[in-house]
Amino acid sequence: LAGDLQQAWANRMLLHRAAENGVAPELTVKLALRLQDFVHRELISGEALDVEFAFIGPERLTAEQVNRMLYLKTGVLLRFCAETGAMIALNTADPDHPRVTALGEFATQAGIAFQYRDDWLGLYGDQAEFGKPIGSDLAEAKPTMLLIRALKTLPPPKRSELLGLLGRGPGDTTVLNRARTLIRDSGAETAVRHETEQRLTAARECLMSFPDNRYRRLLAELLDYMVGRTA
pTM: 0.88
Would the pLDDT of 85 be above 80?
A: yes
Residues in contact with 93: Cβ distance below 8 Å, sequence separation at least 6, in sequence order = 26, 27, 30, 87
Largest CA distance in the chain: 64
Residues in contact with 8: Cβ distance below 8 Å, sequence separation at least 6, in sequence order = none
Across the chain, what does the average pLDDT equal?
Answer: 92
pLDDT digits (tens, 9 = 90+) for 194-204: 999 999 999 99
**Alpha carbon distances (Å) from 27 to 35, 96, 101:** 12, 14, 16
Q: What is the structure's pLDDT at 168?
A: 85
CA-CA-CA-CA torsion sign (25, 29, 30, 31): positive
